[in-house]
Chain A
Amino acid sequence: MSILEGRVEEIRRGPAPAPKGLQRRARWGERLVEAFVRLNGVVAVAVLIGIFVLLVAEGVPILRYVDLWHFFTGSKWYPVSSPPTFGMLPFFVATLWVTLVATAIALPLGVAAAAYLAEVAPAVVREMVKPLIELLAGVPSVVVGFIGLLVLSPLVREVLHLPTGLNGLTAAIMLAFMSLPVIVSVSEDALTAVPREYREASYALGCTQWQTIVHVLIPAALSGITAAVMLGIGRAIGETMTVLVVAGGALAIPSSITEPMRPMTATIAAEINNAVQGGLQYQALFAIGVVLFLLTFLVNLIADVVLERQKRRFGP
């Protein structure tokens, strides 16, 4: 047989089987790793379900004291008076206000910064700026809160001629600072992942860099950018210490972003220590936790739906 025929014969026969001992070890090793990975997945889901079950178990009993409609739409929150009244609408509206304004600030800034870093910035600038932005994500939220209290709130008060700088706007600005690194990081990764062919085709057709970024690259990376924005929104909804220190703490339903307000997270943090375990205030705070959980879940669900639609439109 020639060398070529010999080689063909070898390939046809397939690789020589490993010695028996090695085969057994490989199978066991495989199974162990598979089992470990599966266990991790199961634990993650179990913990999530467990959190929800705990929230519901501790929070739903408040509905024996006040019905769901009055709890959700009531505007009087006096947990330590006799008799106590529980109405959480002011907190829900405050969370919405702060999250929407924070996203409105962080979204354009974040996507623009990501586009700059991915497309326009020279490599040296990108290597320096990207780690710096990610460093911003590491600042503890209570430090951000105090910076807001000492530096930003007098500024907001004087520039906008407001009675107080401790309001939803200051909180929204600080929250935008906190969700910005997430949005920039993930969007920049999404933009760099767009294949080079898209850019080349666009330039070949005579588009400018701006047109390429806005009309070709961002739509192509939209699934990643949406994921980034949803992560940013999730961060803003769940942020506690910053809004506790800076948002103002007023219990009335806020009619504008420049009023002092208290989002749901700040309410839970402010009062949970005071609540006697199992008492009415405790149950009411856990019920607010359920609403918060459902809101975050809804945001993630919307993100999933958008991503599915994007995937179907732009192919695999």
Chain B
Amino acid sequence: MNRKASIREGRRGAQGGKWSSILVGSVAMVTLLLGLAACAGAKDTSGTGLAGSLQVKGSDTMVNLGSAWAEEFMAQNAKVSIAVTGGGSGTGIAALINKSTDICQASRAIKPEEIDKARSNGVDPKEFVVALDGLAVVVNPANPVSELTFAQLADIYTGKISNWKDVGGKDEVMVVLSRDTNSGTHVFFKEHVLQSKDPRAEYGGKVQMMAASQAGVIEVRQNPKAIFYVGLGYVGDEMKALAIKREASSKAVKPSQETVKSGEYAIARPLYLYTNGEPTGLAKAYIDWIMGADGQRIVRELDFVPAQ
């Protein structure tokens, strides 16, 4: 009797197993079908009829701006999907050359060698200036230093000056933060500030290359000895933007949308979009929209300067 009971139990157990797996299977199927139905059911209420997907890769400086543009554009055109990734201007340009992105965002101009490489790969880069950006030099709010010249910045970032007291601050070792070679900001800063005295200058060995602008911002926020350079869009209340003088005798100008627009602020640069050849269809509509009223309004909202 015991054997029979255990066999019956076993059989029931096996059947119970069978039923529970059927149940789980059906729940999974229903969920999957509902999910697919939800995706397919999106209606284009705007009536523009634009549809398709775009891949946008590149500058960290522009990634928040690019995401804001994409979100607004997708809200206005429900059948469009745009994916925005950061990684640095170098990443975006390399992706354009390797044909793995539709649009590249860059905070520096494409270099002649990169144009040659692109052409030899069958890619013809077309440039669009979509905004202007100020490159702010930021320090911790507890740092007493509030202005620096180009020469001082060059010495700090090549490693010649390493103590805050040499620029009028406390007697503390400087923690010098930079972006890495992926970044357009890195290249722009190097060409315009670092190499302003000596065109062969390189970043010093103690300069810390941060993998993302946000990581540098976090370190400046929590470390009183840190100094970093970052696009105006990243500047917030938890850090102090320094006033920059081109020469020792020039006026010290703090970065803001007004000073970048008027050209008073010395470290300002255009922000670019690059495409492979003249854009058509969805890409053209997107770029025209970015250069239009809506796109430029978003530029202003994110603390950049409109292109006009």
Q: Which residues of A are interface residues toward B (Cβ below 8 A)? A: 75, 78-81, 90, 149-150, 153-154, 157, 163-166, 244-245, 248-253, 260, 262, 266, 269-271, 273-277, 279
Contact = CB atoms under 8 A, between A and B. Distances in A.
Contacts of B175: 163-164
Given A154-B222, A163-B225, A165-B223, A270 B205 contact: no
Contacts of A276: 94, 97-98, 114, 117
Interface string B99-115: 00000000000000010
Contacts of B223: 154, 157, 164-165
B266 to A, nearest CB: 24
Contact of A262 (B209, B215, B222): B209
B253 interface: no
Contacts of B173: 163
Interface string B174-198: 1100001110000100000000000
Given A270-B181, A276-B98, 9 more contacts: A153-B219, A163-B173, A164-B175, A245-B215, A249-B180, A250-B207, A250-B209, A260-B208, A270-B180
Main DSSP-derived SS at the A contact region: loop
A149 B215 contact: yes
24 contacts: A78-B202, A81-B202, A90-B205, A163-B173, A164-B175, A164-B219, A164-B226, A165-B223, A245-B211, A250-B206, A250-B209, A251-B203, A251-B205, A251-B209, A252-B204, A260-B208, A270-B180, A270-B181, A273-B90, A273-B91, A273-B182, A274-B91, A276-B117, A277-B94
B94 A166 contact: no
Contacts of B87: 273
Interface string B64-100: 0000000000000000000000011011001101100
A287 to B, nearest CB: 17
B218 interface: yes
Interface of B: 87-88, 90-91, 94-95, 97-98, 114, 117, 172-175, 180-182, 187, 202-211, 215, 218-219, 222-223, 225-226
A262 B178 CA distance: 14
B210 A249 contact: yes
Given A154-B222, A165-B223, A249 B208 contact: yes
A166 B208 contact: yes
B158 to A, nearest CB: 13
Contacts of A164: 175, 208, 219, 223, 225-226
B181 A271 contact: yes
Main DSSP-derived SS at the B contact region: mixed
Given A78-B202, A251-B205, A271 B211 contact: no
A249 B94 contact: no
A157 to B, nearest CB: 7
Contacts of B222: 153-154
B205 A79 contact: no
Given A164-B175, A276-B114, A244 B90 contact: no
A165 to B, nearest CB: 7
